[in-house]
Amino acid sequence: MDYKDLIRKVELFGLSSALLFTTTKAIDILDVDGNYQEFAITQTIEAKTKKPKTVQTYYKGTKIVKSKSTTTYQSNGKTGKVVVVYYNRSKKAYQKVTSEYNKSGIITKTTTIDYTTKNKVEAKSVTTYNSAGIKDKTTKVKYNYNDNYKYSTTTTITYINGKLNRGATEKIVVLNKNGNLSSTITYNYTSSSNKVIDMQEYKKGLPILMYHRFYDKELGEQMIDKYYFDIQSFEEEMIYLKENDYYFPTWQEVQSYIQGKIQLPKKSVVITIDDGDESFFRLAKPILEKYDIRATAFLITSLVDDQILIEHESDVIQYESHTNDMHKKTCNNNLRGAINCVTESNGLKDLHTSIDLLGSNEVIAYPFGHFNNAAYNLVKKAGFKLGVTVYGGRVKVGMDPLTLPRTSMNAYHYRSLKNFIELVSPYN
């Protein structure tokens, strides 16, 4: 797009010297999402070259925000590059947008960089355009700075005719602080307002299913919240897995699979249940034992004791840690799990208490799925070999063993047995 095409109104209000004059222009500028943002702009222009030297841009309206814009022209007079830097109330840059144009003045690339209050790059988005100036692809990398780099998320969107029409795709890749893969998922757009998981891509890897609590509607029980799962549907799923010869790997086998040391049967799945709710012991555990299906229950060990573990000892159920007493939201204004902000000494004491009671530190489930560098390091120092989160997706070779994704099986995600079969089916 030619820079001149953006100008809506021009008012010449005075000459400052024989060589310079100043104009005020009201300009409509499209942001990276195609939305209009209106500015009042003051330019200092060389009368001899008719090209702007500096441009000071101020938001119109009530927002106390301003930005500085610099435009570079090409030798043919067409716009070559426009750089706009936005400042907050403290006069610190929080966003920089660079638009680049070809010799015909058609936009070819837009780069948007978002900064934290400490001037770190929080996100970087690059949109490329085809020869007609229509959006082709956007790649956005977002970094999390809760505790230095917790992880980075890369989202790549491929457009159809510049829009999220049928055929457009969105791929999300999550890397942990070490740069290792934590999760990946691909969506296919059916329309601009609807996207569905690319199941062929999703099916590459090992599914770990995550359940929480259960209810029996035949006993008049009801679903209290989204984490409650109908026990009749659960049994139907387990019957399907058993009758279709699914394999239930051990955690040691999962670790070897991630390391690329072994291959698992194509029809493999891991069953996990979080929290150790009474409904698990009363309703789900008997079904798992009935069909001889290996599963792991992640227990909050402050809520259980030796007697409960002895009473519920099982040949198919493995009990692992959900921490001892850190399954509570006490971090970040009570929004995140305690493991994210506990002191190292208290955190290790908690984990070792849980390990001692269960007699295992093979795998841990982060409370609420929340983890940062501090939580990650605590789990690693406590000697855990594997860790599971609530990120969606399947486990793949090369993933970080301490940040493995799982598939949530709560009431909002489950629709039918057909839906379940799709979630656990292997890639063809």
Instruction: Examine the pLDDT at 290 and tell me if it is beyond 90.
Output: yes
Instruction: Examine the pLDDT at 282 and tell me if it is beyond 50.
Output: yes
Q: Would you tell me how many other CB atoms lie within 10 Å of the CB of residue 194?
A: 11
For residue range 351-363, list pLDDT tens digits in order. 999 999 999 999 9
Residue 354, both tokens: 């849980």
The mean per-residue pLDDT over the stretch 398-417 comes to 82
- What is the DSSP secondary-structure string of 207-251? -EEEE-EEE-GGGT----STTEEEHHHHHHHHHHHHHTT-B---H
How far apart CA 379 and CA 284 sit, in angstroms, is: 28
Domain spans of the chain, in order of start: 208-424
Please check whether the domain covering 208-424 is classified as CATH 3.40.50.410.
Answer: no
The mean per-residue pLDDT over the stretch 202-220 comes to 91
The mean per-residue pLDDT over the stretch 388-396 comes to 88
pLDDT band at 145 (very low <50, low <70, confident <90, very high): low
pLDDT attached to residue 415: 67
The answer to whether residues 7 and 27 touch, using CB atoms and an 8 Å cutoff, is yes
How far apart CA 421 and CA 20 sit, in angstroms, is: 72
The mean per-residue pLDDT over the stretch 284-303 comes to 97
Residue type, 342: V
* Better pLDDT: 183 or 70: 70
pTM: 0.66
How far apart CA 356 and CA 62 sit, in angstroms, is: 60
